[in-house]
Structure 1
Amino acid sequence: MALCLACSLIARRGFVLYDQLVRYKWWYKNGYMSSTGKCFDIGMATCDSLLEFQRRQKDFAEKYKIPLEQLDFLSDFDLLKKFNVYCSDSGVAGNGALMRLAPVPLFFYQQPTAAVEFSGCSGQITHGDQKAYDACRYYGALIVAALQGESKENLLSEKFYQTHISWFANRQLHEDIRTISEGSFKRRGGLRDGIRGTGYVVNALEAALWAFWSDENSFEKGALSAVNLGDDTDTTAAIYGQLAGAYYTYTNLPPKWLNHLYAKNFIQCLSKWITYEGNKWNLEQVSITIKKETK
């Protein structure tokens, strides 16, 4: 799903939630961007949201007289504004929103306020709970800060949220996410002290940050620690890897793992393309702002 999100940002040259849902649907139905050619291990919340998205698409096509074969390729932004992309029930707080997040802060890292808000929205289209939204906002901010070169000490500081509150448009985090931001993950005993890598977004966020905090500056150690918590092992490690990868950078990833990475060259190409389009988006926004101010 992270690759689907990355491709959407690149293809649409920006943040289009409708297109993100379309690509997730392609993954679900046809195995788009899957390493096996098929959808596998889809969470119930994501599945329900994508089924709801398909239902809304059909209703939308009927209402606006859109041929069904054109539904996945809509580009009229005025028309897209009329489509309700938030397809999840309000109480859904699974970790699926968080595990695919990284392309958003990677694309928008030069515009932190946009990166943080878009991070939250990217999760909310399939996971409607406030905790999922704020977990994505907080983690997106951490990834942006890592990309901007902030120290690990700053990233894991109990004051990170307060010192970056302008990135959050001065809006408060849900109290459960705020507790994590204030250091609840700093538990020496890990699993023995209650750290759990479950499918609940609050637990998953806390577990990933615990792995990052305790990894002794080793991506390999952190990823293995995340997996060894048990429960939803692959997702916890995927969440850890987004922040740790941004902080340690590609050159410090274990070569023995990189050598076995499926579609390695393609993923490297996508990463460079995200940087290119993200920089271009930034320049376009600056240009628009200047034009408005000089009129």
Structure 2
Amino acid sequence: MRDLSYQIKSALFGVAIGDALGVPVEFKSRETILQKPVTDMIGYGTYNLPPGTFSDDGSLTFCLAEALSHDFDLHRIGQNFIKWRDENYWAARGELFDIGIATNQAITQLKEGINPELAGNTNTESNGNGSLMRILPLVFYIKDLPISERYEITKKVSSITHGHIRSIIACFYYLEFAREILLGKEKFGIYKKLQVEIPNFLSSLSITPSEISLFDRLLEKDISVLEENKILSSGYVLHSLEASIWCLLTTENYKEATLKAVNLGEDTDTTAAITGGLAGLLYGIEDIPKNWIELLARNEDILDLGNRLAQKMENKNID
């Protein structure tokens, strides 16, 4: 079993490198990218930034990890998000260049003093992937808790920016998948196990059945057998979750998984960040191409954050 420090670094670098791979081609269609597929870490493109530049996905993931390295405190997480937007805290190169509408609105609410659990919009239209893309560090805090507590904490952390049940279920599924990877399980075994455990748990809650049924391609079917043209890669949370699991199940290493995600087009950085988080955990940081790690902005800071979060989580387990 890999030690906690290794797993945390694998997750943090997994998210940020996937993000950075997608940044240069964000918003390009699948058809456009197909003419010149991404095969390596490139730069410039959409935002004209150097190779290895992560966006809001990486920054907000690090803001969450940074907060957890102190304690679990929703207010601290929220304050870190404000510092990121307003002071470029955990920005890749000292300047914010990408922020989602729902996340921006929620951060404004946080700044005005609203309770973090209530800051995220609960409208059906507010189901972008902004909480899913940053949620992964939470798995290290909740992994040893009962499923009901894992769900409740995930709900709270998602709701800082995205409070609708659809975003919460997406984050919950993703973290449950990540947790099973931490336990050393095989990816198809995890997929099948979650098809039993997640519907059973969600049905015990007062969630509208039609909301749960939206996840049927993951919870009832085998998404891995679908052709690429059936996988969507917009900024909609369900598309992002499905695409990330599909990329993970249909590839055999970190590089393949993240490049497959990028080449789906549209919300390339986020699809690859979400995919990269799980792929990083599954295959380990040593499976990430070394030159990608070297090119990644703030790689030494990320290593330090990983060490600090691991130390905190290990002390928490001792306590």
TM over 0.5: yes
What are the Cα deviations for residues 172-201 of structure 1, in whole angstroms up to 9, with x where unaligned? Answer: 6722235423345324421x2x21111100
User: In structure 2, what residue type is equivalent to 1:255?
Assistant: K
Does residue 277 of the first structure (1) align with residue 312 of the second (2)? Answer: yes
Q: Partner of 2:64: helix, strand, or coil?
A: helix
Taking structure 2 as the reference length, what is the TM-score of the superposition?
0.73
Post-superposition offset of 1:242: 1.0
Offset of residue 121 of structure 1: 2.2
Separation of aligned partners in 2, 1:99 and 1:29: 20
With over 3 angstroms needed to count, the CA separation of the structure-2 counterparts of 1:147 and 1:84, relative to structure 1, is closer
Higher gyration radius (CA)? 1
Superposed CA offset, 1:227-264 (max 9, x none): 11111000000000111111111121112211212222
3-state DSSP of counterpart to 2:306? helix
Pairs within 5 Å for 1:107-118: 107-111=141-145, 113=147, 114-118=149-153
Q: Which amino acid aligns with 2:93?
A: T
Write out aligned runs for 1:161-180 (5 A): 161-163=195-197, 171=205, 174-180=212-218
Structure 1: which 5+ residue stretches go unaligned?
A: 58-82, 285-295
Determine the structure 2 residue equivalent to 1:212: 248
- Retained in 2: the 8 A contact 1:107–1:277? no
Partner Cα separation in structure 2 for residue 41 and residue 148 of structure 1: 34
Q: Tell me whether 1:8 sits opposite 2:67 in the alignment.
A: yes
> TM-score if structure 1 supplies the norm length?
0.79
Note if 1:89 corresponds to 2:121. Answer: yes
CA contact 1:120–1:135 (8 Å) conserved in 2 = no
Matches within 5 A, 1:62-101: 83=115, 85-91=117-123, 92-101=126-135
* Greater mean deviation of Cα atoms: 174-183 or 17-26: 174-183
- Once the two structures are TM-superposed, the CA of residue 101 in structure 1 deviates from its matched residue by 1.1
SS in 2 for 1:128: coil
Alignment of 1:115-130 (within 5 A): 115-130=150-165
1:245 aligns with 2:280: yes
Return the letter of the residue paired with 1:109: K
CA contact (8 A) 1:108 1:278 kept: no
Partner of 1:232: 267
Check conservation: 1:211, 1:240, Cα contact below 8 A.
yes
Q: Give the superposition deviation at 1:41.
A: 0.8
Aligned CA-pair RMSD: 2.2
- SS where residue 105 of structure 1 aligns? helix
> What residue is the counterpart of 1:292 in the other structure?
none
Q: How many residues align?
A: 253
Bigger RCO of structures 1 and 2 (CA < 8 A, at least 6 apart): 2
C-alpha distance in 1 between matches for 2:287 and 2:202: 30
Off by >6 Å, runs of 4+ in structure 1:
164-169
Q: Return 5+ residue gaps in structure 2 as ranges.
A: 1-59
Q: Which residue of 1 aligns with 2:180?
A: 145
